Amino acid sequence: MNSSPSRRDLLSAGALAAGLALLNDAVGADNPAASVADRTSTIKLSALRAFRVGTKAYLKLETNHKIFGWGEVTGLDPNVACDVARSVFELLDGQNPTRIEHLWQKVYRAHRNIRGGSFLTHVLSAVDMALWDITGKLWGVPVYRLLGGPVRDYVRLYPTPKAFKTGTGGPHPFSGSPKDVEELVRRITETRKRVGPDGAVMFDAHCAVPPPMLIQLAAAIQPYDVLFIEEPAVPGNIEVFKRLKQAIHVPLATGERDRTIWGMIPYLQERCIDILQPDCAHTGGISQMRKIAALAETYFVPLAPHCTCSELGLSASLHATFATPLFLIHEAYLDGHLMPPGVARPSFEINKDGNALPPQGVGLGVEVDETMFAKVNADPKRQYKWPHPTQKDGSVTDY
């Protein structure tokens, strides 16, 4: 038997060696374990560019190796988000972008008086997305490969023809009349007809149906009529959620306005939520999504990620979800009302059932067209406006 290496073996070995040499030059990975600070690394963050894109803010983190990453800020005045991001870059300038967890902690804990604040955490979410994007590009793989690889073949999405969420139709009184309750039941019934008996119906209370009326509604439907009731109460008082859980036998879901593991853990400890809904762009990015998923798994609580991002932030959330074992359904809007088509071009495909297949590009797998930003910003319908929810009597209410 001839034991000498073949020409193919030699070429493969040479290609591998060349690839490793290029990677080592970029990342300084001669022996990463030898230095926690990666002192041999030559890649550094060199700039942050922040853009208002309609009601969103896009962040672009650049490096001295011409590799860049993108992240999205949502749920925040984009002009404010851009200013906060530029300020935060003081903590990131010159740092190794692959030290994602270290940089997350550095920003989050930097200022004791704004630690955990929504403005900082929303911006940090976008920074985190961009750091994962850079790291995936450096290693030449999709981000979910860096998270342990996919645990499913597709991610179930809504809205689709077989999964739809209905809302409240506006703020409601603290306790309702038969007509008030019947109107909400009608919305659920019509949505059930729309998706069929094998489809998924979600009801979004949106914190706009106060606890007494929500109890009335839940008593008027069967526990299986909806997949879950979303945002049954305003976050901040766990006792309200405990009271609702005792009175309602429909699955309850929340989490889109709760940030980081510290915001989620009370729901799990008090066993008052059946499904967690972290938002990758609100809760601290991919890094926190992963930690929240691990916490929820210990209580056997699945994730149904909230997402009102464009395709950029949605892609980040999908990467985390593909690597999350306990999962139910994912929110995703691809009809162009959040961002015109082409601004952020994702690499994931939608299968015949309307569900997302794994992203195929490196990093987040999203191409951003900066030339379209001005056109988006010129659209008067895409200007950020502060909401002002009120009851019929003019009083301020939650929504």
Of the residues 122, 306, 319, 330, which is catalytic? 306
Is the backbone peptide bond immediately before 159 cis, with ω within 30 degrees of 0? yes
Q: Is the dihedral of CA 141, 146, 152, 155 positive or negative?
A: negative
For residue 388, indicate whether it is catalytic.
Answer: no
For residue 306, indicate whether it is catalytic.
Answer: yes
d(CA 365, CA 330): 18
Q: Report phi then psi at 190, rounded to 5.
A: -65, -40
DSSP 8-state code for residue 374: H
DSSP 8-state code for residue 227: S
Of the residues 206, 282, 319, 330, which is catalytic? 206
Residues 6+ apart with CB under 8 A from 102: none
d(CA 61, CA 125): 13
Tokens representing 56 are: 């969103």
Amino acid in the structure at residue 94: G
List strand residue ranges (DSSP E) for the chain, in order: 45-53, 56-63, 68-73, 157-158, 163-166, 200-204, 228-230, 252-254, 275-276, 330-331, 344-346, 366-368
Cβ pair 98, 135 in contact under 8 A: yes
Which residues does the annotation mark as catalytic?
A: 206, 306
